[in-house]
């Protein structure tokens, strides 16, 4: 069966079957098209967004979507910044809709904040200074600012639910800078 046919069949698969299929992948047999992976991930995301499913089923499908994103990065060279932003957005949405799950690194609000803050490579002050003159920057630096904006944006809806502390303050500082980033 071709990878194209497989993607069509996956629409009817269970999350367990998708996970089982992913466990069989190797460098030799994995699809190489980023678009194939993103299209396949959209199947899992559709289930994760389905409000008629239980919270447990939605989180399970979201974990499958996160795994598919990891495979896109591993086998098809999907950009790590895009992969991270995709994961942060999905996790943020489900935490907003279903609540935080204490002790579960994927679904705990504070854990998501820590992961996002660990992924940034600039301080808010550095980003703010660059943002003031972004139109004069080389394309690589503009992209770096845009990547930071994409990484941090999923935290905006969660900021008021964060426990007081240094991470919450860093997020608030970043959120003041975000509107100025390209």
CB 69 within 8 A of CB 86: yes
pTM over 0.75, yes/no:
yes
CB count within 10 Å of CB 83 equals: 16
Higher pLDDT pick, 5 / 97? 97
Q: Is pLDDT at 10 greater than 90 in this prediction?
A: no
Question: For 51-94, how does the pLDDT look when each residue is reduced to its tens digit (9 = 90+)?
Answer: 999 999 999 999 999 999 999 999 999 999 999 999 999 999 99
The candidate with the shortest Cα–Cα distance to 115, out of 123, 107, 127, 125, is: 107
The domain spans of the chain are 1-78, 109-181
| 157 vs 115: CA distance, rounded Å | 16
Q: Is pLDDT at 4 greater than 70 in this prediction?
A: no
Token pair recorded at residue 176? 């003041």
Question: For 125-174, how does the pLDDT look when each residue is reduced to its tens digit (9 = 90+)?
Answer: 999 999 999 999 999 999 999 999 999 999 999 999 888 899 999 999 99
Token pair recorded at residue 175? 């959120």
Q: Residue 7 has what pLDDT?
A: 62
Element (H, E) at 8: helix 3-10
């Amino acid at each position: 069966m071709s990878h194209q046919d497989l993607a069509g069949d996956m629409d009817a698969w269970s999350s367990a079957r998708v996970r089982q299929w992913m466990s069989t992948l190797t460098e030799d047999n994995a699809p190489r098209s980023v678009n194939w992976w993103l299209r396949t991930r959209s199947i899992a995301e559709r289930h994760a967004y389905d409000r008629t499913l239980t919270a447990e089923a939605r989180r399970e499908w979201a974990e499958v979507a996160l795994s598919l994103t990891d495979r896109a990065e591993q086998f098809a060279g999907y950009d790590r910044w895009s992969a991270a932003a995709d994961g942060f957005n999905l996790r943020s949405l489900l935490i907003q809709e279903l609540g935080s799950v204490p002790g579960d690194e994927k679904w705990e609000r504070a854990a998501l904040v820590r992961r996002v803050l660990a992924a940034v490579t600039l301080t808010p002050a550095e980003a703010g200074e660059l943002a003031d003159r972004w139109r004069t920057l080389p394309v690589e630096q503009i992209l770096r600012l845009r990547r930071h904006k994409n990484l941090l944006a999923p935290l905006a809806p969660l900021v008021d639910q964060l426990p007081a502390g240094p991470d919450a303050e860093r997020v608030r500082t970043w959120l003041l800078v975000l509107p100025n980033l390209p």
